[in-house]
Amino acid sequence: MNLFANLPSSAQEEIQILLQSGPVRIERIVSNGEASPQGFWYDQDQEEWVVLLRGTATLEFQGNPDRLLGAGDYLLIPAHTKHRVSAVSEDAIWLGFHFQGAMGEPESAGPV
């Protein structure tokens, strides 16, 4: 398998689950320039550690500064931290790791 192979061409296929085991889920996200809809906020029950493998993106956090990400940048999004993708390049590929409870990541997007 290769993270850069067989990339989807539409937003309907943006998220591919690569692994799911118990409370852990790993996703490949291919954004194709698709930002979150206006007024939409993610509010997830699980922690998410995300890494941008390719492209650029701006994550907007309710009540916290925006984060501009480039290839190789990563961060921890604590559970119930409202966030959205406000801008993303057409070539953006992410990995998202969803899990219960903090796993010792030193940098987070929101309050700790």
Provide the residue ranges of all domains of the chain, joining segments of one domain with +: 11-99
Q: For the residues 81-94, what does the mean pLDDT come to?
A: 96
Residue 8 has pLDDT above 60, yes or no: yes
Backbone angles phi, psi at 27, to 5 degrees: -125, 145
Domain covering 11-99, topology: Jelly Rolls (2.60.120)
Report the mean per-residue pLDDT for the chain. Answer: 89
Kind and range of the H or E run holding 77: strand 74-77
Per-residue model confidence as pLDDT tens digits over 37-77 = 999 999 999 999 999 999 999 999 999 999 999 999 999 99
Residue type, 61: F
Structure tokens at 33: 């320039």
Residue 108 has pLDDT above 60, yes or no: no
